[in-house]
Amino acid sequence: MKLNVEPPFISKHGQVVRKCKIPGTVAFTFDDGPSLYTDYVLNQLAQHNAHATFFLNTTPELSDQRHSGYWETLVRRMAADGHLLGLRTAPSKPGSENKTAEDQQLLEARRRISGILVSDTSSSGPLPMYVRAPKSCTVENGCIERLTVGGQRLVFPGIDSRDTTPGGLNSTPSTLLDSLAAADPDKDSFLN
């Protein structure tokens, strides 16, 4: 089952997504992969006929050739299995003036994924159109406009799983389950 996602805000360039369009739904998202767990996650999703959005890491390792073809194989499988692909940006350091380098890194990551998804019938693959917004991303600091300039859809999580805080990874399942248990299925939906 694929989920319709409602963009409640549209920047000058692209959409900002904060929740699912259909009440009572949850959109599964996975950040910073592929990793050694990705194959297992893909198998579980396939077993349950479920789809997710995978926000791939955009660090320089994405653009170099140090990793084996395993990474590319997983990205191809994600697309073939019907999952959405997006990119995960690294959060800007406060006061960072290196926005041009960050933008270039995101552009290079989009091109690299497109190159991985090239088919026999085309010379280039689809560009990932979803970007996971850093927590610090706002209209006021220009981040939203900057990250949607290529028409990308900027996605903010609906539940903060706190998995990036010290000790947060251990509390992630209970944080998610508590949020879902408190939800009203007739009106609430989540991106996580």
**Ranges of the chain with pLDDT below 50:** 1-9, 63, 169-170
pLDDT, position 4: 45
Residue 186: helix, strand or coil by DSSP?
Answer: coil
Nearest of 52, 107, 101 to residue 78 by alpha carbon: 52
pLDDT, position 3: 43
Give the global pTM. 0.75
pLDDT, position 11: 53
For residue 179, give the amino acid letter.
S
Q: What is the CATH number of the domain that holds 121?
A: 3.20.20.370
Domain membership flag for residue 112: yes
Which residues sit opposite 6 in a β-bridge? 19
**Residue span of the structural domain in which 161 resides:** 5-173
Please give the tally of structural domains in the chain. 1
Residue 98, CA atoms < 13 Å, CB-side half-sphere:
10
Contact 87, 110 (CB under 8 A): yes
Please give the Cα distance from 89 to 91 (Å, whole number). 6
Domain membership flag for residue 129: yes
Each residue's pLDDT tens digit, 151-171 = 888 888 766 655 556 555 445
Name the percent of the chain lying above pLDDT 90.
9
Domain membership flag for residue 180: no
Domain membership flag for residue 70: yes
pLDDT, position 46: 93
Each residue's pLDDT tens digit, 126-140 = 888 888 888 788 888
Domain membership flag for residue 192: no
Contact 94, 70 (CB under 8 A): no
For residue 31, give the amino acid letter.
D
Alpha helix positions (H), the chain: 38-47, 70-80, 99-116, 143-147, 168-181
pLDDT, position 64: 52
DSSP result, 12-63 = SSSEEE-EESSTT-EEEEEEEE--TTHHHHHHHHHHTT--EEEEEE-SGGGT
Domain membership flag for residue 184: no
Domain membership flag for residue 89: yes
- Structure tokens belonging to residue 154: 């900027």
56 Rama sector, left if φ>0, alpha if ψ -120 to 50, beta otherwise: beta
Q: What is the torsion angle, in degrees rounded to the nearest 10, for the CA atoms of residue 174, residue 178, residue 181 and residue 187?
A: -130
Residue labelled with tokens 């959405």: 84
Domain membership flag for residue 76: yes
